[in-house]
Amino acid sequence: MMYDFKEQIESQKECFDLFVEWLKKRKSVIEVMPASKEEDRKGTDLFVKTENGDTFRVQVKVDHKTDNTGNIVFETISQAYVKKNSVIGSEFNMSNVDYIFFILSKSGRILGYKFSALLEFVIDNYKSFENFQADNFGYKTLGVKIPVSRIKHLITHKGNLSEFT
- pLDDT tens profile 102-144: 999 999 999 999 999 999 999 999 999 999 998 888 889 999 9
83, pLDDT greater than 90: no
What is d(CA 133, CA 73) in angstroms, rounded to the nearest whole number? 11
In CATH, the number for domain 5-164 is 3.40.1350
- Residue range 20-32: mean pLDDT, rounded: 95
What 3-state class would DSSP assign to 97? coil
Quote the pLDDT of residue 93: 78
Q: Could you give the CA distance from residue 91 to residue 115 in angstroms, rounded to a whole number?
A: 9
